[in-house]
Amino acid sequence: MKTIQVLDCTLRDGGCVNNFNFGSEYMEKILHSIEAAGMELIECGYIDEAKGSATERTQYSCEEDIKNNFVTKKKPGTAYLAMIDYGKYDVTKLPQKTDADIDGIRLAFHKKDRHNIISWGKTIIEKGYKLFIQPMTVMRYSDQELLELIEEVNTELPEAYAFYIVDSFGEMRSNDMIRVLNLVDHNLLPQMHLGFHSHNNLQLSYSNAISFIDFHTERELIVDASIMGMGKGAGNLNTELFAEHLNLYFGKNYHIQPLLEVIDTVINQLHSEFYWGYSVEYYLSSINHCTPSYAGHFFKKHMLSIDQVAELLAMLPEEKKISFDKDFADQLYVQYNEKKQQDDGVVIENLKKQFKGKRVLLIAPGKHLTDADETIKQMLSDESVISVALNNDKTYLTDLVLATKQERYEKAVGRGKHVIVTSNVPCTAAPQFEGQVQILNYKEWTKTEDGVNDSAIVIMFNILKAVGAKEIYMAGFDGFSANINENYMDRNLRRPVTEEQANERNRFIKDFLGKIKSEMNLHFLTESKYED
């Protein structure tokens, strides 16, 4: 029977979920559970010279941090490993291996660096560590490129312990797995282990792992997994599920109970705070063959429909798909939204007439909106007041609705509301909507001193400046909280935001409104994080 080993990567790949901030107590509990379960290989985390820490995290500044502060006592028969991304640690600084040091280094690299890793690999081997060769995103290699890499490894690094098939974007299907397996197995030196590292974007990690170990070969195999699939985005293969399968069908004797216990006491808590698992954004990333960071970035703006995010991902050039480039993503987002230009001179002149001499009541969808219910109703009945609802037309009957999202636009038009909509929103200015829909040029009304921002608040106040409004009353401008139940009256508007994102948005809008005060008087009718 072929030899199959499980490499548990919870402490490393799982660390991508929480920025490796497990804390020493959780780190030790996870480590001890993996040891007690009997996994042959344990990945302790990353070694990263610039971002690493000495304690409390599984991203270390050097190998000695692991030896001195974490794995101070090794379980016999278990191999302890760490990953190094090419270019993020000088491997010549690795200490000469002793029994107290970790046992192996997983050297990860992008295709563009594949020829440069040879000298690094030789240094790692010379230092006494097992070398695991991790070519990221194997699906981006042509057959010829992969064969050339294998030949180079065979020739230059014949003492390497393992060579990996890495499905970085979770895009491999069964036929992809069999094709790549045949290619690698028939050309790699027979003494090298063959490993498989998956991501679960298409929910295929488990089935692909089964295909991998069922493949007919005499070669020793390694499969990566993490407890409860903990890993960035859609996560990884579940250690507890895969270990149970190996117990049933491959005569293994892994202990599942310690894994279940640590799920109950540690991993569930992490999962409630740092979600990972299947989502549409990771599915879209997979079928567009790109890092999930782009989809996550576009989704977190909460301005685009799913089909629009799919369109954006399809626009990514091939050379940008492998590594996330935030500046490029923001540039592409702006270009996408600005593609439909609109001459809105007539609309602005019409709005100037509507707003002339009026006090303005703005109604946002914050949860505290109805705290000022009586005041709002009085102002709505006052002919000296013009009212505008921002992406929210259900609670009060306002004169106008500003819609910056397709769903909000369609619902408002369907209810017969008079709508101001930005040109990035797919809409129809058909004859039946004449006089009901006023379209503004997205590019013009999203400008700020700091660049471009398409928050409905930014767009609304840019409009108010243009029409000369002076007295502004604001209700439901709560600001953002990481607790999504605190953000909106309408549960359908809720979207998850992290504490960092919430704080960043609150800070930006507060600063933006602070600058507005020199041009108009702002009156908050309800509690707001934007108020001084």
Whole-angstrom distance, CA of residue 523 vs CA of residue 532: 11
- Read off the DSSP letter of residue 468: T
262 touches 274 (CB < 8 A): no
Q: What is the pLDDT of residue 432?
A: 46
Whole-angstrom distance, CA of residue 136 vs CA of residue 84: 12
Please give the angle made by the CA atoms of 484, 486 and 490, to the nearest 5 degrees: 80
For 4-273, the fitting CATH number among 3.40.190.10, 3.40.640.10, 3.30.470.20, 3.20.20.70 is 3.20.20.70
Mean pLDDT in residue range 422-441: 74
Mean pLDDT in residue range 362-386: 94
Q: What is the pLDDT of residue 279?
A: 85
Residue 107: strand, helix, or coil:
strand
Q: What is the pLDDT of residue 180?
A: 97
Whole-angstrom distance, CA of residue 368 vs CA of residue 478: 7
Closest CA to 365 of 414, 321, 404: 404
Q: What is the pLDDT of residue 431?
A: 45
- β-bridge mates for residue 222, sequence order: 5, 195
Q: In Å, what is the CA distance from 105 to each residue of 42, 63, 89, 354, 450? A: 11, 10, 12, 68, 44
> How would residue 434 be classed by pLDDT, with cut points 50, 70 and 90?
low
Whole-angstrom distance, CA of residue 388 vs CA of residue 47: 53
Q: How many residues does the chain have?
A: 532
Whole-angstrom distance, CA of residue 4 vs CA of residue 109: 25
- Non-local (6+) Cβ contacts of 445 within 8 A are 422, 458, 459, 462, 463
Annotated domain spans of the chain: 4-273, 280-338, 345-524
Q: What is the pLDDT of residue 433?
A: 54
Q: What is the pLDDT of residue 485?
A: 67
394 touches 388 (CB < 8 A): no
Is pLDDT at 450 greater than 90 in this prediction?
Answer: no
Mean pLDDT in residue range 53-74: 97
For the chain, what is the mean pLDDT? 92
Task: Give 323's Cβ-side CA count (13 Å radius).
Answer: 8
Which of 17-21, 163-167, 408-412, 519-523 comes out lowest in average pLDDT?
408-412
- Read off the DSSP letter of residue 37: H
Q: The tokens of 490 are what?
A: 């309408």
Mean pLDDT in residue range 178-182: 96
Burial class (CB in 10 A: 0-12, 13-18, 19+), 453: middle
Q: What is the pLDDT of residue 499?
A: 80
Q: The tokens of 494 are what?
A: 């809720």
Q: In Å, what is the CA distance from 436 to each residue of 136, 287, 421, 431? A: 53, 39, 11, 10
54 touches 17 (CB < 8 A): no
Report pLDDT digits (tens) over 150-160. Answer: 999 999 999 99
Whole-angstrom distance, CA of residue 438 vs CA of residue 417: 11
Residue 388: strand, helix, or coil:
strand
> How would residue 389 be classed by pLDDT, with cut points 50, 70 and 90?
very high
Q: What is the pLDDT of residue 492?
A: 62
Whole-angstrom distance, CA of residue 34 vs CA of residue 103: 16
Which of 17-26, 133-142, 336-345, 516-525 comes out lowest in average pLDDT?
336-345
Mean pLDDT in residue range 479-492: 71
Is pLDDT at 429 greater than 60 in this prediction?
Answer: no
H/E run at residue 41: strand 41-47
Q: What is the pLDDT of residue 498?
A: 74
Instruction: Output the pTM of the full model.
Output: 0.78
- β-bridge mates for residue 195, sequence order: 164, 222
Task: Give 137's Cβ-side CA count (13 Å radius).
Answer: 17
Is pLDDT at 494 greater than 60 in this prediction?
Answer: no
Mean pLDDT in residue range 34-38: 98
Q: The tokens of 481 are what?
A: 């909280």
Report pLDDT digits (tens) over 302-322. Answer: 777 788 888 899 999 999 998
Relative to beta strand 447-448, strand 451-452 is antiparallel
Both ends of the chain: CA-CA distance in Å?
A: 70
Whole-angstrom distance, CA of residue 199 vs CA of residue 214: 19
Is pLDDT at 196 greater than 90 in this prediction?
Answer: yes
- β-bridge mates for residue 59, sequence order: 46
Q: What is the pLDDT of residue 497?
A: 66
Q: What is the pLDDT of residue 406?
A: 85
Is pLDDT at 295 greater than 90 in this prediction?
Answer: no
Burial class (CB in 10 A: 0-12, 13-18, 19+), 94: buried
Better-predicted residue by pLDDT, 408 or 87: 87
Q: What is the pLDDT of residue 159?
A: 98
Is pLDDT at 18 greater than 60 in this prediction?
Answer: yes
448 touches 512 (CB < 8 A): yes
276 touches 243 (CB < 8 A): no
Q: What is the pLDDT of residue 85?
A: 97
The one-letter amino acid at 221: L
> How would residue 493 be classed by pLDDT, with cut points 50, 70 and 90?
low
Which of 207-216, 252-261, 328-337 comes out lowest in average pLDDT?
328-337
442 touches 404 (CB < 8 A): no
Q: What is the pLDDT of residue 305?
A: 77
- Read off the DSSP letter of residue 35: H
SS3 sequence of 175-239: HHHHHHHHHHHCCCCCCCEEEEECCCCCCCHHHHHHHHHHCCCCCCEEEEEEHHHCCCCCCCCEH
Whole-angstrom distance, CA of residue 261 vs CA of residue 35: 13
Q: The tokens of 242 are what?
A: 């895969």
